[in-house]
């Protein structure tokens, strides 16, 4: 998506270890106009797909997910990274984060992910794909169906894209980073 790629080149910053910092418009300060444009693009790319629920994971996925939910007039559920003590009836999975080198628990209430739901997952980054695999696990546990996964930015030099596409899921990424070698942003 042209406007996102241009913004990444203008405001994105490379950090050692293949990290792209987009704090200026996605991960800290957020640009709602760009967020809306990206949501419109997701709606276009998943136009042929029957969806009744948007799923994301806190924190950074929430903003793009709610924009998509707003446009499609569908409920948006965010998976929680800590199991609330007051919440019963939970679906739970474990996700390993390579970037942060920790394993965390992700959970969703069975009240909000139902058998037969046709789920579109939206998130900011696709890196190693473990968060995405965890979401597929939660959707399967619920007896729902993951009909699509949309990411703002995919890092093609990490294995997440292959892992998720191998699951047979329709994956769309609005900008694909080929490499961040030598702190140069190379886009596909
Ligand atoms: P995965 O989500 O694809 O499995 O990859 P990984 O375990 O490596 O990512 C862990 C966290 O780091 C995720 O956010 C992911 O979005 C984020 N991340 C991965 N690569 C980059 C990058 O190059 N730049 C930025 N800005 N983030 C990256 P999270 O822990 O869920 O954090 P948040 O949603 O609460 O912000």
* pLDDT (tens digit per residue) in 147-167: 999 999 999 999 999 999 999
The residue nearest atom 24 of ligand 1, judged by CA position, is: 20
Instruction: Tell me, in angstroms, the distance from the centre of ligand 1 to residue 165's CA.
Output: 18
Does 97 contact ligand 1 (Cβ within 6 A)? yes
Q: State residue 108's pLDDT score.
A: 97
Residue-level pLDDT at 28? 98
Residues of the chain with pLDDT under 50: none
Q: What phi and psi values does residue 178 have, to the nearest 5 degrees?
A: -75, -45
130 lines ligand 1 (CB under 6 A): yes
148 touches 140 (CB < 8 A): no
Give me the residue label for tokens 């760009």: 34
* 114 CA to centre of ligand 1 in angstroms: 27
Question: Percent of the chain scored above 70 by pLDDT?
Answer: 100
Q: What's the confidence (pLDDT) of residue 86?
A: 77
Query: What is the per-residue DSSP string for 99-135?
Result: TTTEEEEEEEETTTS-TT-EEEEEEEEESSSHHHHHH
Measuring CA to CA, which residue among 150, 55, 61, 133 is closest to residue 97? 133
Structure tokens of 112?
Answer: 């909000």
Q: Given the CA of residue 96, which atom of ligand 1 is nearest to it? A: 7
Which of 14, 58, 127, 185 most suits a substitution to test ligand 1, by most atoms within 8 Å of the C-beta? 127
Q: Which domains does the chain have, with CATH numbers?
A: 2-187 (3.40.50.2020)
What is the three-state SS of 35-76? HHHHHHHHHHHCCCCCCCEEEEECCCCHHHHHHHHHHHCCCE
Whether 21 and 15 have beta carbons less than 8 Å apart is answered as yes
| Cross-strand partners of 154 | 126, 176
């Amino acid at each position: 998506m042209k406007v996102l790629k241009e913004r990444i080149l203008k405001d994105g910053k490379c950090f050692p270890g293949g990290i792209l910092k987009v704090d200026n418009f996605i991960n800290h300060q957020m640009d709602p106009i760009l967020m809306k444009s990206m949501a419109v693009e997701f709606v276009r790319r998943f136009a042929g797909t029957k969806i009744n629920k948007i799923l994301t994971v806190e924190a950074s996925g929430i903003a793009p997910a709610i924009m998509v939910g707003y446009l499609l007039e569908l409920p948006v559920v965010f998976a929680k990274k800590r199991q609330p003590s007051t919440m019963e009836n939970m679906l739970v999975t474990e996700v390993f984060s390579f970037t942060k080198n920790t394993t965390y628990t992700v959970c969703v209430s069975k009240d909000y992910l139902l058998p037969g739901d046709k789920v579109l997952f939206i998130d900011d980054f696709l890196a190693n794909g473990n968060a995405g695999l965890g979401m597929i696990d939660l959707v399967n546990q619920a007896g729902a169906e993951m009909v699509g996964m949309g990411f703002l930015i995919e890092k093609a030099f990490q294995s997440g894209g292959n892992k998720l596409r191998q699951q047979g899921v329709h994956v769309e990424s609005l900008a694909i980073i080929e490499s961040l070698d030598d702190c140069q942003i190379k886009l596909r």
